[in-house]
Structure 1
């Protein structure tokens, strides 16, 4: 009887040891997961806009925004542009693209008045994009002066593609020509 009792006690000890081993394994997994989370950092902030053509245009596509430590990465995938052409990609003050010419989007986004000095780039002037021989423009630009929250946030504003490219030497720096596509920037 003692022997049987000892065996049961031994089995209980073994089972209890396995339980501690599984707990230790689970704890190690949590520590590893916490390490991965701190290694990977916080979830990146993201936004996107579906661009629709203005009157007389056929330009459509998507512009995505991902905030990183060095600025917002602006990725674009647009079709319907004139072949082998350059265009200004800009953020406008209001996320209103209801006017047929996108004039309801307002002026180019410029939250910092010091950027209006001659030769300074306005935050909303993201850059120029190039359409290939098929009228497709894909790629990305980094916009260091905007964000997806705070005073410099582009959320709920409009991203606009203009017919012509930005002239970096012109004052004020604005896309020339009419808007050919517009879309409201929304958080994802």
Structure 2
């Protein structure tokens, strides 16, 4: 037999849990949802590279996952974010320069946010993996949304000063919310 005080206590706990859920929102109950974006890369003229690049924002940075095919076997390539989300030019030059928020542009030789790093293609010309980019986000001034992702022919040399070019664009895609 349930006594009146026990029932009241149980009801009070239930009311407190429901109120917490309503006041705190669903994210505190179910966990916060990660922001996601991605792109389908298409080859530039004369190239065969295609694949996907996805972005998931976490508290420690943006996880950038890539799955690309059609690269030269056993080769390294730069993966970069460019200023404009425009891959219409046959060589992807319409994407503009590498993404660099205003303050980074003032520092000669500094690594810019759009330099995500190098990727490696295996003996079959396939590159899969991920990296964590701490200098970009999926909102605000460092957002990669509506910008172009380009896979370049050459790898980035992190020790070169001034930084050298990364070669021709092999593939390009515009980052969109998923």
Per the shorter chain, which TM-score range? 0.7 to 0.9
- Counterpart for residue 65 of structure 1: 55
| Distance in 2, Cα, partners of 1:66 & 1:148 | 8
Moved more, 144-153 or 116-125: 116-125
The partner residue of 1:85 within 64, 67, 75 is: 75
Change (3 A) 1:63 1:172: farther
The partner residue of 2:33 within 22, 43, 46 is: 43
Does 2:150 align with 1:155?
no
| Distance in 1, Cα, partners of 2:161 & 2:98 | 13
**CA positional deviation for 1:38:** 2.3
| Distance in 2, Cα, partners of 1:38 & 1:44 | 13
- Counterpart for residue 167 of structure 1: 157
Unmatched runs of 5 consecutive residues or more in structure 1: 1-13, 15-19
Aligned residues: 175
SS at match of 2:116: strand
Unmatched runs of 5 consecutive residues or more in structure 2: 3-7
**CA positional deviation for 1:42:** 1.8
Alignment TM-score, normalising by the size of structure 1: 0.79
**CA positional deviation for 1:53:** 0.1
Alignment of 1:1-188 (within 5 A): 37-38=27-28, 41-114=31-104, 117-173=107-163, 175-188=165-178
SS at match of 1:151: helix
Moved more, 81-90 or 167-176: 167-176
Moved more, 26-35 or 107-116: 26-35
Moved more, 109-118 or 66-75: 109-118
SS at match of 1:38: helix
| Distance in 1, Cα, partners of 2:100 & 2:30 | 32
Structure whose CA Rg is larger: 1
| Distance in 2, Cα, partners of 1:155 & 1:168 | 25
Name segments (4+ residues, structure 1) moved above 3 Å.
23-37, 171-175
| Distance in 1, Cα, partners of 2:77 & 2:121 | 8
